[in-house]
Structures are given as structure tokens and as C-alpha cells.
Structure 1
């Protein structure tokens, strides 16, 4: 008796064409994403195309949005990987109706609708609210470091950026043959052996590079003059305080006016160079303002008040200090706990007890210090847009968020804040941290009710980061620049909430 196997005839033809819907189970997540997109207002996407239909036909925006949401849910964020899946995966074929968008089309759609894709977060949050998943009695806030689309090795000092610009402006053959000639090749040409010659050569190279990059006039340097009334509570009144406050204001302005990072390497080099020069100019402005402020205090001082010696005039360094990444000038070196430093962004999230993300923002500062109030404000704004009338009652965050003024501001808005003053590694309190709000917060956290409430923080917000970074592979941004990173982080947060919504639709008891 022959062996008994089920026949496997790959040449077997079908009498009728297959129906893709028969090949995908009813409880598959693709159906939930298709259903969610049908309920979204995608007018912003459709409004970007000609109403008269002229020109080459484009893929339906609803199909492309569904394709990106499903791809991110599967941890597939590469445009080439998405194109490959459209050829090979039946669920992708179901989304695209058997069509195969080219990877360049997918990448261009993501670039063109960058802001609108990030705003899908608000649309998904509204769907979660309608399903009753957004319970905001207790909210936890935390941050995680996500790598930028840039290498740590691309960080450059001002001098190295100048060298890169010179190298970019001169072709290798012309440099070796025209400048070095018969020499060994490692000595400087005659016109680069003096400081004046180097400056002239750099200025000429910079102009050639600007023309190559298509840049017009030099971008303006921000004018910033710190107001001491705005940082009167800051410890110290010296020049460093003015520098620090001016730099904060510069970062705030860059955040508000965040622009896409140029794709061309020459333009990126010039952008990185400009930012280092702008940093130095803002420091000079802050020093001048500080010296004027000191002079005014002395001129109108109260009799008997001592001011000490007048400040010495500020002498800026010969070249701007610090480093800037020439691939993604918005990104920064980020310290991570127990891991090597990464070139990236600090992704902030506010999460409910049900692990629904209610705010997703991006910061360029590595510490979480200073991000408590902005993240809470973002959460309140998102909840209002989603139609959630309930306001958070309690806010949980780790010791990195301890900021006395911000905690007071949030508490004055009727929200209880639980943030440890320190990480608990010290045997005693820091000097001056043993009374007032510090002592009160320690007492609250040491109480039975406070302890029970605060222990929910880890099991709400940290699993959200774990799911997205390790299960969905979201460890690195695909696009460059702060605006693009924020849009992508919000899109990933929307996908996370969609997965929660899918679980709820399957079985509300396990959502």
C-alpha cells in the first residue's frame, strides 16, 4: 500500500478567481484597521490633490493610510519592505486590492503627508474614547530614547565642519593634482598657510557649497535677550544663568519653527554650521544683556547695597564650541540607563492605566527634567480634541521629572502629582531637600495609599515602550529632523492605540 499524503500540486489551476477576503480570518487585525480608517476624516489627505483630476492618477489616500498603519503595526516601516510585502503577503494584497505601490511612491506619500500622518494620533484617540477605553483618572508619564536616522560618528565640531565643507567644495582630483602637484600631499597649500588665507578659502568654499545646495542668502541669526524676571527663581544670577536661559529660548524657537532637514549633503553641512554659529551669537547676545543689566543695577542701586566687582567683558571663543550632527542637526547625543549613548531623540508619552497613549511628544534634551508640564499640557489638549470631558486626577512620574515649579503649576490646576524628589539611592536627603515640598512628597509616597497608587507607574507606561520598541521594532526613526520624528512617534502611538482598540473589538474583557 503506497504512503498516504495530501496532494501538493502547485500547477493546479482554479476554475474561479480567488476571493482574498476568504483567505484572511474574520478576527485578523487588518479588518480592524480597515474599519478604523473608514471612520476617520481624511479630508486633509484628499485636499492635497487636484480636484479636477488632471495629471497622473494617484493611489487612494485611504488605501495608503491603511497600508502605513498596518505596516507599522507589523513592525515593517521600510518603504522597500512595505513594497515587498505588497507582493508577497495576502493581508497587504487585501489592503491594496492586489496593487503594488512602488517604494518611492510610499516614501513620497509619507514625506508629503508627514504632518497629517502624525495627526492620525488624535483621530485614533477619539475612536478609543468612543469605545470607552480612555479612562484618565490616573496618568503616567515617562520618556524613552529612540535613535535618529543619523550616526554618532556624524557629530562634528566647528573646525571639522569647516574641513568637511572645504572637502565637499573641492573635487578630490583637483585637490590632489592642482594643489599638491608633485609634493607628498600632506602639506598645506601656500594660500592656506595663513589665517587670512584660510578664512578666504573657507568663505569661497562656503559660497560654492551654498550655490550647489540651492540656498539663497545666509539665514538670519535669532535675536534673543533673556528677561531676568522670567528666571528670577533660577539658582544663581551669573553669566552662565543668562547663557542657559538664552539657549533654552533658542531651542524653544527652533522647536516652534521646526523645518524638514535638507536631503542634500551640502545643505545639511551648511545647516549644521549655521546652528553652531547661531549658538555662539546667542551666547554673545546674552552676555551683552547680562552686562547691561549689571550696569543698570549699579546705576540705580539702593544705598548701601553691595554688588561686588563689575563683570569682566565677555570674550567669546575663536570658534563656536560644541558639536552638531551633520546628518540630522536636530538630533542629540542621548544617555540611556545601562546602555551606550545613542544619537537620537527623547520620546515622551502620557499613558492611562489601560495603556492608552494620550500624549506623544518629542524632546531634544536627554534628561526628562523640564518635560513634565509640557507633556501634561499636550495630554490635556489631546483629550479635549478627542472629546473626553474627564480630566486627570493623579499624575505619576519618576524622579527624573522632579521640577518644583512645574509640579506646583500642575497641582494648582487640580491634578495630584506624585513624583519622588530623588531616585531613592541616597541614605539621606540632599542638603536643603529635607523640608517643604520635598518632605511632603516623601510622606505621601511612603503612605500606604501613596505607595499603592505610585506602584502603578511602571506597569502602565513602561510596557508601552517595550511593546513598541521590542515587539514592533520601533527603535529608530526613518526620517530626519525634529518635525519628522514627532510625526513618526505620534503615528507609532496611533498604531499602539489601534492595537488596543482591536483587542477591545475582539473581546472587551481582555482589552
Structure 2
């Protein structure tokens, strides 16, 4: 056999460079993450992550927060969030060993760092967004707003109603009585037959916990009933003062428990660059109440409001339509997206080339349109009728050529960003509670913008990224 191979020797010394910085490529993501975090640290923008010094000087020195941030940020960039997986990669992966400078915080330390700095990750999102703005990537000429449901770190099947807890208590007591009877028959009445058998001691603890949970549910249910009753009494008082019935459905005592065990992640995305300009996590199931606070949050974070804001029908209301002002023009669909797409197809006159995104059905519909249909499908012209309300005016604007062109950017911007989140593993939050979910939402948004900045090749001053950060 031939022996003309590259020499292979597992005992070879100094196979890797002694300088850990030589292990990675100059244009690699891990080096870019390291440069950006160092850049923010040099400007004093990571001070919230630094712990307060102990006055007595006791205790082992902690790992450097810059190093811990680099590990977490790079992990989220490539879709690795588990502290145990990060622990293993710090041993095996060249990129992680470079970022940690061959130090090795264990998974408990990584998890504790993330837990202790949950509120600071929103600050990190703002700082990375600032780099994107300075690079000209978040002009906010046109932005799109949407919400996405994300599973929380909780199991829906572990939630119990008061009736379910009562049934489980009865089942445990029945089982205990049956086993007591068997034990009495087997050991006799004088062999501690009045005590709970050994195998049911854990069930006794569970029974006590269930009883406590039932008491808590009873108290909460009573509180909800009292609050709802007060709402009904308040409504009746208002009706007496007005001398007529109020419009709308009366509040009732019935409640719904069919909610998803998760959160509503909101994001406003720059349509040109897919940079997230603001984000939030809420527990509200509907999006209609989120438009105003998200626009206010956008102005607070970026120092200005967007010129044009696009949103789907979930955000439509007359109150939201009135939020438009000289700074921000709103494009809010009044019907579901599939209906909106149908309107856009019907409003597209069959002239010129057939759009590439047309399917067989759309092509046939275009072919068979009559002249009358074409006249009805023409974009609206002339003055707006005086009887038009806010909804009719919005629908008319979205039927115009300008409105159609602008609104089409919504799905290809904000929905694409949510798809990229899912690709990196953001289908469920690992940290518990609303604060934990907000922390992970901020981390995903910050790393999303960091990836956009890295792929753009631009730095904060508009030059090449490596030159901008090094300079």
C-alpha cells in the first residue's frame, strides 16, 4: 500500500498556535462578537454588567463580565442557549475557547450570570441598536409591527382548575382508604392500621399541597367574583345616571382558561434592513392594545418615531387609526392578510408582465377578467367621499398603488425576522417569569441586530466593520 499521506501523529506537540487569537479567522462571527463587546466596554457602555465590589474583599473573584457576555451573545447568535451545552462547548469548541481565553466557567456560573442580569439585557439591545443606527441601518423610513406567541417555561398540563384539584384529592383519599383496608386485613388491626402506609407518604405530602392550592384558587376565585360584581354595579350606576342602557356587552362572571402558556413578543422592524428598532414582551393575547405603547417605546429608544408604520389587522381599531400624526403615517390592514392579498391580486390590472409570485389560480383569474372588473379594480381616484370614516379611508389608502407598494413590505420584513428567531431556537423561553422572558427577548433581538450588522460589513462610522471597531 502507498504511504504518501500527510503525517498523522496524535502525540504531536504544539499542534495549535500558542496564541488563542490565532485560532479563529479574522472575518469570523466569533471575532466580530468579541470586537463589538470590547468596543462597547471601552466606551463604558457595559457598566451595568459589572458587579459592585464587596467592602470586605472576601470571596473568590468572579469571571470577567465581558467574557461572560461574549459567551452568551455568541451562543444566542448561533442558537445555543443551554448553559450545559455552553459548558461543554467551552471545552471542545475553538470559537468558545477563543472567546473565553481558555477559561472555563461551569454551567451553574453561566446560568447564574444570565439570571442575575436579566434586566441589563435590554440595555445591551439598546446599545447594539445604537451601533446599527450609526451604521445607517435603522433609518426608520418604513417599519413593520407584529406580534408572535412564544411558549413560556411552563407546562399547560400542569395547570389545574379547582375542580381538577378536588377530583385529585378524592382520588388520593380513595386510594389511601383502599390500601388501609388491605393492610388491616393483612397485618391485623393492631399493626398500625390507622396510619398511612409507607408507599403513600409522598402522596400525603402531595395531598397537603393540593389542599393548599385549592384554598388559594378559592381565594382567587372569590376575589375575581367580587371584582366582577363591582364592575356590574358600576355599570348599573352609570346607566342610572345616564338614564339609558350602555352600549356593548355586559360583563359576566364567566371566565376563559383557554390561553396559551406563553407570551406575546412584539417587535418593530425596519423594512429596509430588517433591524429590530424596538421590542417588548407582554402577556396580552391581543395585539390591538400594543400599537401605541410600541410607538412610544420606539421613540424613547431611537429618539424619533418612524415615518411610516405598517401593521396587520390585529392592530386595527379606530383609536389606533387616530394615532397617525405629522411624524408617523399609519398603514393598518382592516381585514385578515389572506383577504388583503386577495384584494391586492384583484386590484392589480392585467397589464404588462405577469408577476413571478402568481400561481396557477392567479394567472387564470387575470386572464379571465372583464373590462368591467378592470374598471372596478382600478386604484381609487378623485376626492375622498365626505361620508368616509376612518376605516373606509384606511381601506382606500391601502388600495392605491402607493399603499399597495408600501404594505407589501410588511410580511417580508417583520415576519421574516420572526422566522429567523425560530431558526435560532426562539420557540420557547428558558427563563421563567415575565422578567425572564423579557431578558431572553432582548437577547434574541440584540443578537439578531448584531448578525445584521456583521453581515452588512459596516461599522458604526460607516466604514468596514473591522476598521470601525478597531479605530
TM-score when normalising by structure 2: 0.73
Please state how far the C-alpha of 1:505 moved relative to its aligned partner: 3.4
Counterpart position of 2:148: 144
- In structure 2, runs of 5+ residues without a counterpart are 185-203, 344-386, 466-471
Of stretches 473-482 and 287-296 in structure 1, the one that deviates more from structure 2 is 287-296
For residues 107-506 of structure 1, the aligned pairs below 5 Å read 107-161=111-165, 181-182=180-181, 209=209, 274=216, 277-278=219-220, 281-295=223-237, 297-298=239-240, 305=243, 322-323=256-257, 332-333=259-260, 343-353=261-271, 354-384=273-303, 390-408=304-322, 410-412=323-325, 414-423=327-336, 425=339, 435-470=388-423, 472-505=424-457
Please state how far the C-alpha of 1:286 moved relative to its aligned partner: 3.7
**Structure 2 CA distance for partners of 1:280 and 1:139, relative to 1, 3 Å:** farther
Please state how far the C-alpha of 1:485 moved relative to its aligned partner: 0.5
**Structure 2 CA distance for partners of 1:148 and 1:307, relative to 1, 3 Å:** closer
Instruction: Give a deviation string over 1:196-253, Cα, whole Å, max 9, x none.
Output: xxxxxxxx999965xxxxxxxxxxxxxxxxxxxxxxxxxxxxxxxxxxxxxxxxxxxx
1: CA distance, partners of 2:252 / 2:402: 55
2: CA distance, partners of 1:400 / 1:78: 34
Q: How many residues are paired up?
A: 392
2: CA distance, partners of 1:383 / 1:279: 43
1:145–1:345 CA contact under 8 A, matched in 2: yes
1: CA distance, partners of 2:404 / 2:206: 59
2:17–2:23 CA contact under 8 A, matched in 1: no
**Structure 2 CA distance for partners of 1:483 and 1:207, relative to 1, 3 Å:** farther
1: CA distance, partners of 2:268 / 2:166: 41
2: CA distance, partners of 1:3 / 1:24: 32
Instruction: Give a deviation string over 1:97-147, Cα, whole Å, max 9, x none.
Output: 111111111111111111112321111111212222211111100112221
1: CA distance, partners of 2:126 / 2:13: 47
Instruction: Give a deviation string over 1:299-333, Cα, whole Å, max 9, x none.
Output: x56xxx5569xxx9x9968xxx5549xxxxxxx41
Instruction: Give a deviation string over 1:259-282, Cα, whole Å, max 9, x none.
Output: xxxxxxx99x85x97578446524
Counterpart position of 1:9: 9
2: CA distance, partners of 1:150 / 1:467: 23
2: CA distance, partners of 1:351 / 1:307: 43
Counterpart position of 1:65: 69
- In structure 1, runs of 5+ residues without a counterpart are 186-203, 210-265, 325-331, 334-342, 385-389, 429-433
2: CA distance, partners of 1:64 / 1:504: 26
Counterpart position of 2:19: 19
**Structure 2 CA distance for partners of 1:32 and 1:413, relative to 1, 3 Å:** same
- Structural RMSD (CA): 3.7
SS across alignment from 2:181: coil
Instruction: Give a deviation string over 1:381-407, Cα, whole Å, max 9, x none.
Output: 1113xxxxx531110011111121022
TM-score when normalising by structure 1: 0.68
Please state how far the C-alpha of 1:444 moved relative to its aligned partner: 0.6
1:158–1:323 CA contact under 8 A, matched in 2: no
2: CA distance, partners of 1:176 / 1:206: 13
Please state how far the C-alpha of 1:93 moved relative to its aligned partner: 0.5
